[in-house]
C-alpha cells in the first residue's frame, strides 16, 4: 500500500476548507490545510462578515433619525469611518485566531504558502512537496474587473472594506447583491451613491417583484440607479474620476467600485498539469460527489462556481468528509437553498421565483405590501413586501420572498417549511405571532390576480 504524508490535504483555509478538514480529522484522518494568506477565507476576512459589520455600522444613521419619532432627542451624534474600520479589523483578527485554534484543536496541520498540484497525489507548498491520498481544492473566488482603459483607478469590494476615508461621491458598477449592499452602506454614511448597470434592473436572477420593490426603496433614499449603461473608460481628472459611458455620457465621481462578478481563484494551481478540468471561466468541474476529473482530487465552494454561498461550501465540505472518512456517502442538495441580500432594506428569499414557477405551471401568487409598525411612528417612508409562490393544485409552497427589516432572519425559518414541502394550508393553520412583520406569511389569504386576468381588465 502506498504511504502518503496525509490522508486529506485541503488547499484553501476558508469556511468550506476548514469545515471539511475539521470533520475529516474528527474521523481520524491525518489532515493538513494549505493557505497562502490568512485562515478564514473570503467570507470571514473579505466578504460576509466584514461587510455585515459595516451594514450594522451604517444602519445606526437611520436608527438615530427614527429615534426622534419615539421621543428621543439625540444631540452631538457624529460618525468616524476610521473608528469603524479599526473595530472591524480587530474583529477579523479575533476570528482569524479562532479559526487557527479550531484547526489546531482538531489536530489539523496548517501549511503556509501558495499550493500547486504536481500530480494527483502531490501538492507543492513553498517549494516543499507533500503527498495525500485525497486532495481538496477550496480556494474560493476573487473580484473580476473588465479590461477597459483606466480600470486601474477602480476598486473592488476588497478595497472598499479598507478605505482610509469615505469619498464624497461613489459610482458602483454592477447590480448584484454586493453592489446593492455597498450602495446601502455608503449612502447611509453620507456618500452620494450612483449604481450603474448594463441590465434593465438590479438583482438579476431574483424574483421580478422583489427587484422592483427594492429598486423603488433604494430610489426613495436618493440612491441613483442608472440602467442599461456600460462604462467604456475611466480617466483621472484632477482629484476626481471621469467615467465615460458607451452613450457618450461623462459621470464625475470621487471613487468607482466594480461589483460585476467574481471569478474562481484557480490560476497557478497546476490544475491542467494534474489533469483537473476547468471550464472557460476557470471553474473546476465536479460531479454530485464533488469529484473532479481526477479521482483523488475534489473541489467545493466558489471555486466550482455553482452556488456561491458560504453555507453551501460548508455543507459540501462536511458531506465530502462524511463520504471519504465516515463510510457515510453524502451529497448536498442545491435545491431550495435560502439566501439574503443585506441591502437597506434587506432581502430574503428561498425557492422558486414567480417567473420560474410559471415555466412549469400556473402558480397562485400571494403578496402583502405594508408599512412596518416601527415606521408608523418614526415616519420612515419604507414599505415591506412579502410574497409566496404556491403550486396549483397541490398547494405546496414553491418559494417565499421578502424585502424589509429582518427579512434574512425571517426567511431562515420559512426556508425550513419550503424545504419540508409544506403547503399553503399548513401556513394558514399556523397561528400568527402578533404584532410582528413575520405574521404576514401566515395571514395572506387571497391570491393576487394572474397576469392574464390583469391584462383583460
What's the pLDDT tens digit per position in 14-45?
999 999 999 999 999 999 999 998 999 889 88
User: What is the reported pLDDT for 456?
Assistant: 52
Q: Is the pLDDT of residue 453 over 70?
A: no
Is pLDDT of 454 > 70? no
Residues of the chain with CATH 3.30.390.30: 339-447
For range 177-191, the mean pLDDT: 97
Residues labelled as active-site residues? 434
> How high is the pLDDT of residue 320?
98
User: Over 70: is that where the pLDDT of 305 sits?
Assistant: yes
- 253-295 pLDDT, tens digit per residue, is 999 999 999 999 999 999 999 999 999 999 999 999 999 999 9
DSSP E strands, 322-412:
339-341, 347-351, 364-370, 384-390, 397-403
Q: Residue 5: CB partners within 8 Å, gap ≥ 6?
A: 30, 32, 130, 131, 132
pLDDT > 90? residue 2: no
The pLDDT confidence band at residue 85, using thresholds 50, 70 and 90, is very high
- Judge whether residue 373 has pLDDT over 90: yes
Contact 340/347 with Cβ under 8 angstroms? yes
For the stretch 196-229, pLDDT in tens is 999 999 999 999 999 999 999 999 999 999 999 9
Cα 147 to the chain's mean position, in Å?
Answer: 24
Q: For a pLDDT cut of 70, what percent of the chain falls above it?
A: 98
pLDDT given for residue 41 in this prediction: 87
Return the H-helix or E-strand segment holding 59. Answer: helix 48-67
- What is the Cα–Cα distance from 61 to 70, expressed in whole angstroms? 15
Angle subtended by helix axes 81-105 and 15-26, to nearest 10? 20
Determine the pLDDT at residue 213: 98
- Return the pLDDT at 445: 94
Helix (H/G/I), strand (E/B), else coil: 326: coil
| Segment 311-355, tens digit of pLDDT | 999 999 999 999 999 999 999 999 999 999 999 999 999 999 999
What is the average pLDDT across 229-241?
Answer: 96
pLDDT at position 450 is 79
- Name which of 113, 51, 15, 48 is nearest 312 in CA terms: 15
Over residues 368-380, mean pLDDT: 95
Where in the sequence of the chain do the CATH 3.50.50.60 domains occur? 6-143+263-325, 151-260
**Rounded CA separation 139/118 (Å):** 17
- The answer to whether 237 and 252 are in contact (CB under 8 A) is yes
Q: Binning pLDDT at 50, 70 and 90, where does residue 457 land?
A: low
Name the CATH superfamily housing domain 151-260: FAD/NAD(P)-binding domain (3.50.50.60)
pLDDT, residue 149, reads 97
User: Does residue 306 contact residue 288 with C-beta atoms inside 8 Å?
Assistant: no
Mean pLDDT for 414-438 is 98
Determine whether domain 6-143+263-325 maps to CATH 3.50.50.60: yes
**C-alpha cell recorded at residue 169:** 461621491
CA distances from 364 to 151, 206, 342, 407, 411 (A): 46, 18, 28, 22, 19
Question: Using an 8 Å Cβ cutoff, are 195 and 226 in contact?
Answer: yes
Euclidean distance between CA atoms 271 and 11, whole angstroms? 12
pLDDT at 452 exceeding the cut of 80: no
Read off the DSSP letter of residue 283.
P
What is the CATH code of the structural domain delimited by 339-447?
A: 3.30.390.30
Q: Which three cell numbers stand for residue 213?
A: 420593490
Residue 449 has pLDDT above 90, yes or no: no
Whether the predicted pLDDT of 182 surpasses 90: yes
Q: What is the pTM of this model?
A: 0.95
> How confident is the model at residue 410, as a pLDDT?
98
Amino acid at each position: 500500500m502506498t504511504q502518503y504524508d496525509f490522508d486529506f490535504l485541503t488547499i484553501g483555509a476558508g469556511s468550506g476548507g476548514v469545515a471539511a478538514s475539521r470533520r475529516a480529522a474528527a474521523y481520524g484522518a491525518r489532515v493538513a490545510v494549505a493557505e497562502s494568506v490568512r485562515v478564514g477565507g473570503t467570507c470571514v476576512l473579505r466578504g460576509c462578515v466584514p461587510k455585515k459589520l459595516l451594514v450594522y455600522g451604517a444602519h445606526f444613521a437611520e436608527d438615530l433619525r427614527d429615534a426622534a419619532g419615539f421621543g428621543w432627542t439625540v444631540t452631538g451624534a457624529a460618525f468616524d469611518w476610521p473608528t469603524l474600520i479599526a473595530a472591524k479589523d480587530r474583529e477579523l483578527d479575533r476570528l482569524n485566531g479562532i479559526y487557527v485554534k479550531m484547526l489546531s484543536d482538531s489536530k489539523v496541520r496548517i501549511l503556509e504558502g501558495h499550493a500547486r498540484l504536481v500530480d494527483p497525489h502531490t501538492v507543492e507548498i513553498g517549494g516543499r512537496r507533500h503527498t495525500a491520498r485525497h486532495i481538496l481544492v477550496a480556494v474560493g473566488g476573487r473580484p473580476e474587473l473588465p479590461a477597459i482603459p483606466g480600470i486601474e483607478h477602480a476598486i473592488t469590494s476588497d478595497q472598499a472594506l479598507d478605505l482610509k476615508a469615505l469619498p464624497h461621491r461613489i459610482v458602483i458598477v454592477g447590480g448584484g447583491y454586493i453592489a446593492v449592499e455597498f450602495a446601502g452602506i455608503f449612502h447611509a454614511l453620507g456618500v452620494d451613491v450612483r449604481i450603474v448597470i448594463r441590465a434593465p434592473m438590479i438583482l438579476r436572477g431574483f424574483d421580478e417583484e422583489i427587484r422592483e420593490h427594492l429598486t423603488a426603496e433604494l430610489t426613495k433614499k436618493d440612491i441613483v440607479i442608472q440602467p442599461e449603461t456600460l462604462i467604456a473608460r475611466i480617466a483621472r481628472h484632477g482629484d476626481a474620476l471621469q467615467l465615460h459611458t458607451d452613450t457618450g455620457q461623462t459621470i464625475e465621481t470621487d471613487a468607482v467600485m466594480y461589483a460585476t462578478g467574481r471569478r474562481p481563484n484557480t490560476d497557478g494551481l497546476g490544475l491542467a498539469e494534474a489533469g483537473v478540468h476547468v471550464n472557460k471561466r476557470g471553474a473546476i468541474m465536479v460531479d454530485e460527489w464533488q469529484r473532479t476529473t481526477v479521482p483523488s482530487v475534489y473541489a467545493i465552494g466558489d471555486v466550482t462556481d455553482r452556488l456561491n454561498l458560504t453555507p453551501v461550501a460548508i455543507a459540501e465540505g462536511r458531506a465530502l468528509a462524511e463520504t471519504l472518512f465516515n463510510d457515510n456517502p453524502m451529497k448536498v442538495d442545491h435545491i431550495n437553498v435560502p439566501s439574503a441580500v443585506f441591502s437597506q432594506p434587506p432581502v430574503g428569499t428561498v425557492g422558486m421565483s414567480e417567473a420560474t414557477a410559471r415555466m412549469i405551471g400556473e402558480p397562485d401568487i400571494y403578496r402583502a405590501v405594508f408599512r412596518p409598525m416601527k415606521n408608523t411612528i418614526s415616519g420612515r417612508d419604507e414599505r415591506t413586501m412579502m410574497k409566496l409562490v404556491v403550486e396549483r393544485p397541490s398547494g405546496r409552497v414553491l418559494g417565499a420572498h421578502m424585502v424589509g427589516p429582518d427579512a434574512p432572519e425571517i426567511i431562515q425559518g420559512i426556508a425550513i417549511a419550503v424545504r419540508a414541502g409544506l403547503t399553503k394550508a399548513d401556513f394558514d393553520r399556523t397561528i400568527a405571532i402578533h404584532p410582528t412583520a413575520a405574521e404576514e406569511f401566515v395571514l395572506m389569504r387571497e391570491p393576487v390576480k394572474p397576469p392574464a386576468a390583469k391584462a383583460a381588465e
